[in-house]
Amino acid sequence: MTFKELINSVNFEDVAPHIVRMYPDMKDSLGWFNLHFDLLRLTEPQYHRGSNADVCHITMKDWEDGTGLHLDAHPMEGDYWEHSLTKEIILAPDVKATKEEIAACCMWHTTFYGFIELEIEDRLHIGEECNQLVSIPDSKYYMKEAERYFYEIRKNGGIIPSIRELPKTKKKELTKKSKVIIWYIWDVKHKCNRSKRKALLRKAFLEKYYERMRNISENIVSFIPDLSRKGNYITIKHLCRLFYSELFYTIHIQSYADEYTDGATYLSNLFSKYDMLPTMDHVLVYIQRGNENKELRDEGVLRPEEIELIETIRRRVCCKGNHPTSDFIIGVKPELGCQTFVNIIGYNADKPITYDINDK
């Protein structure tokens, strides 16, 4: 049996309890495992030369932590998922596991670098403003990337705030993070004089500043092509107000619905079932739809399924705060087909970015 055949022979509802039992620290990630499971279901197996192996050995392994033997799948992580699906599953003689347990074990390994392709990209490119795990490049990288996005934003009429214009709470937070960098990561607390420490602190501050500005501006630039689309009311001026937010969080998710399920409905059900989204004051939802829906006569009109999706996201993200708000941007990406993509931006601020519209 190949890994693809194994995935097709089980239901995620039966696999999920084994994920929680075998890997207790993954109990809050079941929504992401569900996405990964559905992604594997829709992925066509494809062999890649030079991959780790053509088979996956299922064995009992001692983790040497005093917890005894554990089910193990090797090698499974580090390969293209489409290649992993081609691997023949070979069980050791002493393995007495169900198909659901084996599937749970294999998926734990295949998600080592991320659950979906978009999430892997975020881990590599988006910093800890988005609560992602990254290896931190130097400040020159962040500055170069940020300036590239700044150019596009200014070209389209946007205004980039200076460091002095940032909220005091945000500057204080960036300063705190900068001290962590120079004291614990760079380990210079006792190795240089005050003047040098001050210079290093500024360098670290600029790194965190440009990291944040790059993250926000990257998202703004991605929205620009759709701002002029009929039905959209968000402007570049509104988006630039995200720079003044006290906290900024973004998450990119694509549906992996089967042929009988609408992509927007798939995501609504996913977010309703699992706690996958952050709790923030306000939310901006960027929805990209494919072009296979023949009922779409007006691209600027939200379908009922998309309205329900935005409302589900609003209830999940804006469940606290005095005056929570939600806004949306509609986009079209033909290659999505019947699937739906959302970029969910949650942010904390005294006012929503569209306060001039909402107050009218």
pTM score: 0.86
Q: Which residues of 82-115 are buried (b: 16+ CB within 10 A; e: fewer)?
A: ebbbbbebeeeeebebebbbbbbbbbbbbbeebb
Task: Look up residue 108 and give its two tokens.
Answer: 């734990």
Sheet containing 247-254: give its strands across.
Answer: 247-254, 340-348, 282-289, 325-332
Closest CA to 332 of 182, 193, 229: 229
d(CA 86, CA 35): 20
Task: Look up residue 316 and give its two tokens.
Answer: 């999940």
Closest CA to 120 of 134, 109, 106: 134
The whole-number pLDDT of residue 358 equals 55
**Domain layout of the chain by residue ranges:** 3-115, 121-358
**What fold does the segment set 121-358 form as a domain?**
60s Ribosomal Protein L30; Chain: A; (3.30.1330)
d(CA 331, CA 334): 10
Q: From first to last of its 360 residues, what are the pLDDT tens digits of the chain?
A: 999 999 999 999 999 999 999 999 999 999 999 999 999 999 999 998 878 789 999 999 887 777 778 999 999 888 889 999 999 999 999 999 999 999 999 999 999 888 887 665 554 443 444 333 344 445 677 888 899 999 999 999 999 999 888 888 888 888 888 887 777 655 655 566 777 778 888 888 888 899 899 999 999 999 999 999 988 999 999 999 999 998 899 999 999 999 999 999 999 999 999 999 989 999 999 999 886 555 554 566 889 999 999 999 999 998 765 577 899 999 988 899 889 999 999 999 989 999 987 554
Closest CA to 7 of 96, 73, 94, 95: 73
The whole-number pLDDT of residue 190 equals 54
Task: Look up residue 27 and give its two tokens.
Answer: 């109990």
The whole-number pLDDT of residue 134 equals 40
The whole-number pLDDT of residue 234 equals 96
Concatenated DSSP letters for 193-210? -HHHHHHHHHHHHHHHHH
The whole-number pLDDT of residue 188 equals 56
β-pair type (88-91, 247-254): unpaired
